[in-house]
Amino acid sequence: MGTLSARLDIQGALNQQRVSRRLEIIGQPPEFAGLRCDAFICEGFAHNGMLIANANVVHVCFAGVWHKLILDCGVIIWRQSEGPPNPWSIASEGWEYPHVDVGAISGVTGLRLRDYRMETTAAGGKVVFLFESGRTITIIDENDQSNFRVD
């Protein structure tokens, strides 16, 4: 019974390490709660025509102010930006950065944001945006690939 107990103690310690992993944030998380969403655009990454991630960079505009959100290996990066983004590419490398108007697709453009939360996950991190309609947009980074999900 001593060996089983020791195994359980070790497993408990490993689980605690996973749960208590600190969220690393670079930049100042914006105060969006209660503000209207003017735009929610996800910039993907494609290589030689194959989509790798559909939310490599997230561009959001609340109350007329643009922000850029990047999730990278469990790190969440916030930056204020100059204005709306434009799709771009580096043809010589086969890299494309297509944009998806997630705000329009999900019907959240013009709605107020109730709140958003940032979390770590076992394989990265995520940011969940909750709108007044009950609709959520989740940006999840797993194994260095960021994608959006609308619920």
pLDDT at 94 over 70: yes
CA pair distance 23, 122, nearest whole angstrom: 12
pLDDT at 15 over 80: no
Q: What angle do CA 71, 72, 73 make, to 5 degrees?
A: 125
Delimit the domains of the chain by residue range. 22-150
pLDDT of res. 35: 98
Edge-to-edge strands, sheet with 113-121: 113-121, 124-131, 136-142, 145-150
pLDDT tens digits along 18-36: 444 578 999 999 999 999 9
Contact 97, 43 (CB under 8 A): yes
pLDDT of res. 21: 58
pLDDT at 2 over 50: no
pLDDT at 103 over 90: yes
pLDDT tens digits along 35-50: 999 999 999 999 999 9
pLDDT at 99 over 80: yes
48-66 average pLDDT score: 97
In this structure, what are the phi and psi dihedrals at residue 101, rounded to the nearest 5 degrees?
-80, 80
pLDDT of res. 6: 38
Short-list 120, 118, 114, CA closest to 136: 114
Give the pLDDT band of residue 68 (cuts 50, 70, 90): very high
pLDDT of res. 123: 86
pLDDT at 1 over 50: no
Average pLDDT, the chain: 88
